[in-house]
Structure 1
Amino acid sequence: MKNTYLSVADELLLLLRTVKISVPAKFIRHKILSHPQAGSALSITDTLDEMGIANAVLEVDKQFITDLPLPFLAYIHSEKDGGMFRMVKDIPQTLRKTPAFLQEWTGQAVLVEENAVVPPAMLEGFHRPAGPRYALWLGIIALLALLSKLVYEQHYFWLTLLLLSFSGLAIGITIIAEKMGLSFPIAKGLCDASNNEGCDHNLRSDVSQLTSWLSIPDVVLIYFATWCVILTAGSVMSAFTGLLPALLLIAAVAIPVTIATVAYQGFFTKQWCRLCLIVTAILWMQLGVLVYGSTASHQPWLSFSTGMASLGFLFTFLAVAAAWLVIKPVLEARHEYESDYLKLLRFRKDPATFLALLTASAKREITPMPYELQLGNADAPIQLMMICAPFCAPCARAHHILHALLENNDAYGLTIRFTYNSHAADEKANQAIEYLLQQAAYLRQSAGSKEAASAGLRQLLHEWYNHMDADKFKQAYPPVALQNTEALLGAHESWWKRYSIRYTPTIHINGWELPDKFNIADLPYYLRNSDIIEKIAIDPHRHTSLFANKQV
Structure 2
Amino acid sequence: MEKTVATFLSHIGAPVAEAHCERLIRTHSDFPALVSISDAFERLGLQHEMSMVDRAELDALPYPCLLHTEADGGDIVAIRKPGDVAANQEALAFWSGVIIQVDPQPVLAVQERIGAYKRQQFSRFLVMALALTGVLTTVYGGLRLAAQAPSAAVGAGMGGLLVLAAAGGAIGYFLLAKDLGIKYSSVENFCAVEGNAKTDCNRLLNSEGASILGVLKLSEAVFAYFTFQILALYAAVLSGVLYHEAQAVFLALSLLALPVIGYSVVYQYAIAKTWCKLCLLVDAVLLAQLGISVVLHQLQPVEATALAPVAVLGFALLLGAVLALTVLGKGLLKEYFTVIKSEAEALRVKGSVAVFKHLLQFTRRITITPFTDEIILGSPEAKLKLVLVLNLHCQPCKEHFQKVVDAIQVYPREIQIALRFVLSGRDADISPTSVHYLIRYWRENIQGQPEQTQRTVRLLQDWFEDMDLERFKQKRVVDFSVPDSHSEQLSLAHRQWILREHITRTPALFINGYFLPQNYTLDDILAMTQELIYSAGKEEVAG
User: Does the alignment reach a TM-score above 0.5?
Assistant: yes
Instruction: Give the match for residue 4 of structure 1.
Output: none
Is the alpha carbon distance of 1:192 and 1:522 closer, same or farther for their aligned partners in structure 2, counting shifts above 3 Å? Answer: farther
Instruction: Give the match for residue 353 of structure 1.
Output: 355
Instruction: Give the match for residue 137 of structure 2.
Output: 142
Q: Is the 8 A contact 2:50 2:100 kept in 1?
A: yes
Match of 1:489 among 483, 488, 491: 491
Deviations 1:93-127 (A, max 9, x none): 663x5565664655443321133376454343643
Instruction: Give the match for residue 67 of structure 2.
Output: 74
Query: How far apart are the structure 1 equivalents of 2:441 and 2:289?
Result: 77
Instruction: Give the match for residue 21 of structure 2.
Output: 28
1:351-390 paired onto structure 2 within 5 Å: 351-390=353-392
Q: Which moved more, 1:97-106 or 1:215-224?
A: 97-106
Task: Indicate the SS of the match to 1:109.
Answer: strand
Task: Indicate the SS of the match to 2:463.
Answer: helix
Match of 1:508 among 504, 507, 510: 510
The answer on 1:55 being equivalent to 2:48 is: yes
Is the alpha carbon distance of 1:433 and 1:76 closer, same or farther for their aligned partners in structure 2, counting shifts above 3 Å? Answer: closer
Is the alpha carbon distance of 1:27 and 1:192 closer, same or farther for their aligned partners in structure 2, counting shifts above 3 Å? Answer: farther
Instruction: Give the match for residue 223 of structure 2.
Output: 221
Q: Which moved more, 1:49-58 or 1:37-46?
A: 37-46
The answer on 1:17 being equivalent to 2:10 is: yes
1:461-540 paired onto structure 2 within 5 Å: 461-480=460-479, 481-485=482-486, 486-527=488-529, 529=530, 531-537=531-537
Instruction: Give the match for residue 260 of structure 1.
Output: 263
Query: How far apart are the structure 2 equivalents of 1:468 and 1:218?
Result: 52
Q: Is the 8 A contact 1:245 1:299 kept in 2?
A: no
Query: How far apart are the structure 1 equivalents of 2:516 and 2:39?
Result: 21
Q: Is the 8 A contact 1:389 1:429 kept in 2?
A: no
Task: Please report how far the alpha carbon of residue 362 of structure 1 lies from its aligned counterpart in structure 2 after TM superposition.
Answer: 2.3
Q: Is the 8 A contact 2:111 2:406 kept in 1?
A: no
Task: Indicate the SS of the match to 1:401.
Answer: helix
The answer on 1:114 being equivalent to 2:131 is: no
Instruction: Give the match for residue 545 of structure 1.
Output: none
Task: Please report how far the alpha carbon of residue 132 of structure 1 lies from its aligned counterpart in structure 2 after TM superposition.
Answer: 6.3
Task: Please report how far the alpha carbon of residue 333 of structure 1 lies from its aligned counterpart in structure 2 after TM superposition.
Answer: 4.1
Query: How far apart are the structure 2 equivalents of 1:76 and 1:539?
Result: 34
Q: Which moved more, 1:50-59 or 1:277-286?
A: 277-286
Deviations 1:171-227 (A, max 9, x none): 212222222233344443344588899544444455545478643322222211122
**What TM-score, normalized to structure 2?**
0.82
Q: Which moved more, 1:373-382 or 1:484-493?
A: 484-493
The answer on 1:157 being equivalent to 2:157 is: yes
Instruction: Give the match for residue 319 of structure 1.
Output: 321
Q: Which moved more, 1:248-257 or 1:321-330?
A: 321-330
Q: Is the 8 A contact 2:63 2:81 kept in 1?
A: yes
Structure 1 segments unaligned to the other structure (5+ residues) = 1-7, 541-552
The answer on 1:303 being equivalent to 2:304 is: yes
Query: How far apart are the structure 2 equivalents of 1:290 and 1:104?
Result: 54
What amino acid is aligned across from residue 15 of structure 2 in structure 1? Answer: S
Query: How far apart are the structure 2 equivalents of 1:123 and 1:204?
Result: 39
Query: How far apart are the structure 1 equivalents of 2:446 and 2:249?
Result: 86
What amino acid is aligned across from residue 109 of structure 1 in structure 2? Answer: I
Task: Please report how far the alpha carbon of residue 469 of structure 1 lies from its aligned counterpart in structure 2 after TM superposition.
Answer: 1.5
Task: Indicate the SS of the match to 1:124.
Answer: helix
Query: How far apart are the structure 2 equivalents of 1:313 and 1:194?
Result: 42
Is the alpha carbon distance of 1:107 and 1:306 closer, same or farther for their aligned partners in structure 2, counting shifts above 3 Å? Answer: farther
Is the alpha carbon distance of 1:417 and 1:302 closer, same or farther for their aligned partners in structure 2, counting shifts above 3 Å? Answer: closer
Query: How far apart are the structure 2 equivalents of 1:232 and 1:383?
Result: 64
Is the alpha carbon distance of 1:535 and 1:218 closer, same or farther for their aligned partners in structure 2, counting shifts above 3 Å? Answer: same
Q: Is the 8 A contact 1:71 1:90 kept in 2?
A: yes
Instruction: Give the match for residue 43 of structure 1.
Output: 36
What amino acid is aligned across from residue 416 of structure 1 in structure 2? Answer: L
Is the alpha carbon distance of 1:395 and 1:307 closer, same or farther for their aligned partners in structure 2, counting shifts above 3 Å? Answer: closer
Task: Indicate the SS of the match to 1:87.
Answer: strand
Q: Is the 8 A contact 1:432 1:470 kept in 2?
A: yes
What amino acid is aligned across from residue 181 of structure 1 in structure 2? Answer: G
Task: Please report how far the alpha carbon of residue 517 of structure 1 lies from its aligned counterpart in structure 2 after TM superposition.
Answer: 1.0
Query: How far apart are the structure 1 equivalents of 2:250 and 2:537?
Result: 74
Query: How far apart are the structure 2 equivalents of 1:334 and 1:107?
Result: 37
Q: Which moved more, 1:218-227 or 1:276-285?
A: 276-285
Task: Please report how far the alpha carbon of residue 495 of structure 1 lies from its aligned counterpart in structure 2 after TM superposition.
Answer: 2.2
Structure 2 segments unaligned to the other structure (5+ residues) = none
What amino acid is aligned across from residue 303 of structure 1 in structure 2? Answer: A
Deviations 1:309-366 (A, max 9, x none): 8656534322322443554444444444433333333332333333332343223232
What amino acid is aligned across from residue 90 of structure 1 in structure 2? Answer: K
Query: How far apart are the structure 2 equivalents of 1:462 and 1:276?
Result: 56
Task: Indicate the SS of the match to 1:507.
Answer: strand
Is the alpha carbon distance of 1:243 and 1:210 closer, same or farther for their aligned partners in structure 2, counting shifts above 3 Å? Answer: closer
What's the C-alpha RMSD, in Å, of the aligned pairs?
A: 3.7
Q: Is the 8 A contact 1:34 1:345 kept in 2?
A: yes
Instruction: Give the match for residue 549 of structure 1.
Output: none
Give the length in aligned residue pairs.
522
Query: How far apart are the structure 1 equivalents of 2:241 and 2:62?
Result: 58
What amino acid is aligned across from residue 383 of structure 2 in structure 1? Answer: P
Task: Please report how far the alpha carbon of residue 386 of structure 1 lies from its aligned counterpart in structure 2 after TM superposition.
Answer: 1.0
Instruction: Give the match for residue 418 of structure 1.
Output: 421
Q: Is the 8 A contact 1:366 1:511 kept in 2?
A: yes
Q: Is the 8 A contact 1:209 1:216 kept in 2?
A: yes
Q: Is the 8 A contact 2:69 2:96 kept in 1?
A: yes
Query: How far apart are the structure 1 equivalents of 2:359 and 2:435?
Result: 32
Task: Please report how far the alpha carbon of residue 54 of structure 1 lies from its aligned counterpart in structure 2 after TM superposition.
Answer: 1.0
Deviations 1:424-452 (A, max 9, x none): 9823497111112222332367x4x5x44
Aligned identity (percent) is 23
Task: Please report how far the alpha carbon of residue 41 of structure 1 lies from its aligned counterpart in structure 2 after TM superposition.
Answer: 3.7
Task: Please report how far the alpha carbon of residue 19 of structure 1 lies from its aligned counterpart in structure 2 after TM superposition.
Answer: 1.9
Instruction: Give the match for residue 412 of structure 2.
Output: 409
Query: How far apart are the structure 1 equivalents of 2:374 and 2:301?
Result: 93
Q: Is the 8 A contact 1:11 1:73 kept in 2?
A: no
Query: How far apart are the structure 2 equivalents of 1:199 and 1:484?
Result: 77
Query: How far apart are the structure 1 equivalents of 2:283 and 2:75?
Result: 30
